């Protein structure tokens, strides 16, 4: 690491510790040349994930959009914010683990529905009704029948 005071490239690490959030390492360094000390931070480089929408447009993945969609689906349901945060964390982690630079919004929607189905069936149906854009009562009933068949298994 280059010294910010004298531009010397020989520095040594005196102390390392994780930051409070645990997402970075704080390092105290000392320059071998001028003996001045400075702090650096090391963190994992995150590659932004692009979401490919149904119309072909692309936008950066936004965790808050997933969170808000799940909150709306779970409104007035016995699902805690802690449970919702866990779902969003799991979804985000799963998407990151796919190691894809682009992911279709359809895939994200299906993952959200799978998570909601295990937590609250009413929240699942609410989300599915918006996500799948039910056109009439028959498509809604069809989705409910699938849900009932899955719960019997």
At 31-66, the pLDDT tens digits run 999 999 999 999 887 778 999 999 999 999 999 999
67-70 long-range CB contacts below 8 Å, 24 or more apart?
69/112, 69/127, 69/130, 70/112, 70/115, 70/116, 70/123, 70/127
> What is the Cα–Cα distance from 147 to 153, expressed in whole angstroms?
10
Phi/psi-derived region of residue 66, left when phi > 0, alpha when psi is between -120 and 50, beta in every other case: alpha
Confidence of residue 81 (pLDDT cuts 50, 70, 90): very high
At 88-129, the pLDDT tens digits run 999 988 998 888 899 999 999 999 999 998 899 889 888 888
Parse the chain into domains and list their residue ranges: 11-43, 50-152
What pTM value is reported for the model? Answer: 0.64
């Amino acid at each position: 690491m280059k010294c910010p005071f004298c531009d010397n490239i020989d520095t040594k690490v005196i102390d390392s510790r994780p930051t409070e959030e645990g997402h970075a390492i704080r390092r105290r360094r000392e320059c071998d040349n001028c003996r001045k000390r400075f702090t650096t931070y090391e963190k994992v480089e995150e590659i932004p994930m692009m979401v490919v929408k149904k119309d072909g447009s692309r936008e950066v993945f936004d965790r808050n959009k997933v969170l808000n969609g799940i909150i709306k689906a779970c409104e007035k349901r016995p699902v805690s914010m802690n449970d919702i945060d866990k779902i969003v964390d799991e979804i985000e982690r799963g998407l990151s683990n796919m190691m894809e630079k682009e992911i279709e919004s359809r895939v994200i929607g299906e993952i959200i529905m799978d998570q909601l189905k295990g937590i609250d069936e009413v929240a699942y149906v609410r989300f599915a009704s918006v996500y799948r854009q039910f056109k009439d009562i028959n498509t809604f009933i069809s989705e409910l029948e699938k849900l009932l068949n899955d719960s019997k298994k």
